Amino acid sequence: MVLSLGLVTAPARAAQNTPEPQAVTTQTRSEALSAKQQAIPLIASFMAASEMPKLNAALHQGLDAGLTISEAKEILVHLYAYVGFPRSLNALGELLKVVDARKQRGIEDAPGREPSRPIPTGDQLLAVGTANQTKISGAPVKNAVTDFAPAINQFLQTHLFGDIFERDNLDWQSRELATVGALAATPGAEPQLRSHMAASMRTGLTAAQMRQLTEVLAERGDTQAAKRASVALTQALAAASAR
């Protein structure tokens, strides 16, 4: 479903009078990522690259920084939509090892919580998912790809932006930090990475925070992933300023 992210970059927009990206959450903006937020793109990047020893260390870092077990699990579940079930299952297995090892050392990580509300079904799920997709994309999604293969957009609306994004045990900013980290580590996903840089800022993350994400990847992650992320951020900001 890596293609799915490209659809976020190409909503139908009027040529003029397009509003600047708006925050779609009520979370407080900050000019710096928290330690917890910094761990998320690292976890995602190493998961996408199947770098299991580095993923192990990043999971420890995230839990030390305050990620709950539920949040860590949800990050790895969320990312199956972007990097596939095999990597998600392998990463969840690694998280299980990390949690068990920490328990043996006497570390009791906060379990966190499960989603607090039921996921809609049927037409209601499609409506909710379409609304979520539109918020994150900045406009309704309609382009040549969705016209050519309407089923892919229906799957995006009902499953990714419905079933997954309606799970409220992980906020949208964290979901976008994870998505950007995973796509940065995925060669060939540059269009989708660029779109999720813009989507991240629509959730309330700032350009300075996304720039910090690229620095975190450069310092503690993969240099190529950091370069892809930096280029994508520059392009997303240029596109926003040109509107």
What digits encode the pLDDT tens for the residues 168-209?
Answer: 999 999 999 999 999 999 999 999 999 999 999 999 999 999
Structure tokens at 119: 């996921």
pTM given for the model: 0.88
Please report the pLDDT score of residue 30 as a whole number: 60
Mean pLDDT computed over 225-233: 98
Mean pLDDT computed over 29-37: 87
Q: In the chain, where are the structural domains located?
A: 117-167
Mean pLDDT computed over 152-164: 98
Residue 163 above 60 pLDDT?
yes
Q: What are the C-alpha distances in Å from 213 to residues 28, 79, 125?
A: 18, 18, 32
Residue 10 above 70 pLDDT?
no
Please report the pLDDT score of residue 112 as a whole number: 98
**In whole angstroms, what separates CA 91 from the centre of its chain?**
16
Q: Which amino acid is located at 221 in the chain?
A: G
* CA pseudo-torsion sign 41, 24, 21, 157: positive
Phi, psi of 141 (to 5 degrees): -90, 120
Residue 149 above 60 pLDDT?
yes
Residue tagged 């957009």 (tokens):
153
Please report the pLDDT score of residue 21 as a whole number: 35
- What is the rounded average pLDDT for all residues in the chain? 90
Q: Could you give the percent of the chain with pLDDT greater than 90?
A: 86
Q: Which amino acid is located at 225 in the chain?
A: A
Please report the pLDDT score of residue 243 as a whole number: 80
Q: Please report which confidence band the pLDDT of residue 18 belongs to, taking 50, 70 and 90 as the band edges.
A: very low
Q: Which of 7-11, 205-209, 225-229 has the lowest mean pLDDT?
A: 7-11
| DSSP string across the chain | -HHHHHHHH-B---SS-PPPP---S-PPP-SS--HHHHHHHHHHHHHHTT-HHHHHHHHHHHHHTT--HHHHHHHHHHTHHHH-HHHHHHHHHHHHHHHHHHHHTT---------SSPPP-HHHHHHHHHHHHHHHHSS-B--HHHHH-HHHHHHIIIIIIIIITT-TTS-HHHHHHHHHHHHHTSTT-HHHHHHHHHHHHHTT--HHHHHHHHHHHHHHS-HHHHHHHHHHHHHHHHHHHH-
